[in-house]
Amino acid sequence: MIVGILKELDSEPRVAATPGTVKDMIKCGLTVHVESNAGIKSFISDEQYKESGAIIIQSSEELLKNIDIALSVMAPSQNHISMLKPNSIIISFCQTTRELDFVRAIKDVPLTGFSMHLIPRTTLAQKMDALSSQANIAGYKAVLIAASQLGIYMPLLMTAAGTIRPAKVLILGAGVAGLQAIATAKRLGAQVEAFDVRPVVKEQVESLGAKFIEVDSDTDEGVGEGGYAKETSEEYKNRQQELIHEHISKSDIVITTALIPGKPAPLLIPKTMVDSMKPGSVIMDLAAENGGNCELTKKDQVVEYNKIIIDGTSNLPGTMSVHASELYSKNIAAFLTYMVKDGKINLDFDDEIISGAVYAHDGNIMHEPTQSTLNK
């Protein structure tokens, strides 16, 4: 079977395979074709792919018409989808409840579609968890970007001219991105607080040296399936807003990471809260792609409002394309090779990882939330 590595759209600097993962796929009996210059923005040359055993294909048209499995970071264009052979397999990131036109195109060809967004959060699937590997980068880079835009030091400094207090950083959402943001801000010497609707993450937050702020509640109200956050009651949301408002007005940097799978990002910072922040403060909204946690966020724009910076950059992992590609390619190769037996794909839909990640097969939508969204 032939695996094709697509060159991403101009806005996406990552790539779905590295020379190392090409070798891993070849060891499993697969043939690997790479579109020319696919890795150029991650500083991987065609020659490096050739040395790892890949065959370089000069155009996307030529690549797509001959392959059995397409690997990419982001969902390819519908034009590219139409060039694939019926019953081919495509594996990429895809928010299937939001990218509905793409899902329809996959269904109509028909193709088998797997989304790296849907990889189950289980121990066995841990090495395939691309969302976590990319969120880790986003949390790290968010702190660096915020610090570079701040007009003050991050750490406590004792100088001959006096003592400089440490910057105050507030992290909203203590998932993978949030925890990495906490760790990075602490390494830079900041005073860090974190909030999450899931009380179970308190120990992790405190182990990194941050203060956990929480809404008094008798239940784990914010804990959803797989440990992800879920929507909470109106009463809880009101208490949450009061708590965040109290802390945000004292913060120099606010990093928001709150997401609910399959739904728009929850609004945590309305305009009235931004009005209470100090001039020169910075908000990094890591949920910008899904609508943002801040009311004033604009996707892929840096907004200045009342001398407060609100950064809605949606692809922070792409700003570290070398390591982002390295990690993503390992995730996607681990998932692909998990399904390969003797050089052929074994689509065992009784397997919880395979059935969890598939959203389309043989002209059918296999992911219930996606089907429900399409039916609306």
How do residues 203-248 score in pLDDT, each as one tens digit? 999 999 999 998 876 554 555 555 555 566 777 778 888 899 999 9
Q: One of 104, 108, 228, 239 is an active-site residue; which one?
A: 228
Q: One of 77, 132, 241, 371 is an active-site residue; which one?
A: 132
The reply to whether 48 belongs to the active site is: no
First-to-last CA distance in the chain?
A: 37
Q: Given phi > 0 = left and psi -120 to 50 = alpha, else beta, which region is 29?
A: left
| CATH label of the domain that carries residue 279 | 3.40.50.720
Task: Compute φ and ψ for 197, nearest 5 degrees.
Answer: -70, -10
The reply to whether 132 belongs to the active site is: yes
Q: How many domains does the chain have?
A: 2
How do residues 57-97 score in pLDDT, each as one tens digit? 999 999 999 999 999 999 999 999 999 999 999 999 999 99
Does the reported pTM lie above 0.85?
yes
- The per-residue pLDDT string of the chain (376 residues; one tens digit each, 9 = 90 and over) reads 999 999 999 899 999 999 999 999 999 999 999 999 999 999 999 999 999 999 999 999 999 999 999 999 999 999 999 999 999 999 999 999 999 999 999 999 999 999 999 999 999 999 999 999 999 999 999 999 999 999 999 999 999 999 999 999 999 999 999 999 999 999 999 999 999 988 999 999 999 999 999 887 655 455 555 555 556 677 777 888 889 999 999 999 999 999 988 789 999 999 999 999 999 999 999 999 999 999 999 999 999 999 999 999 999 999 999 999 999 999 999 999 999 988 899 999 999 999 999 999 999 999 999 999 999 8
The reply to whether 348 belongs to the active site is: no
Q: Same domain, yes or no, for 189 and 295? A: yes
Q: What is the dihedral of CA 234, 237, 242, 247, to 10 degrees?
A: 180
Q: The tokens 């689509």 sit on which residue? A: 347
39 with 49: CB under 8 angstroms?
yes
Q: Same domain, yes or no, for 31 and 149? A: no
For residue 213, the Cα-to-chain-centroid distance in whole angstroms is 25
374 with 104: CB under 8 angstroms?
yes
In a domain, 81, yes or no: yes
Q: Same domain, yes or no, for 310 and 326? A: no
The reply to whether 236 belongs to the active site is: no
What length does the chain have? 376
User: Residues near 13 by Cβ (< 8 Å), separated by ≥ 6?
Assistant: 41, 42, 318, 319, 321
The reply to whether 355 belongs to the active site is: no
Range of the domain at 94: 2-118+321-375
In a domain, 123, yes or no: no
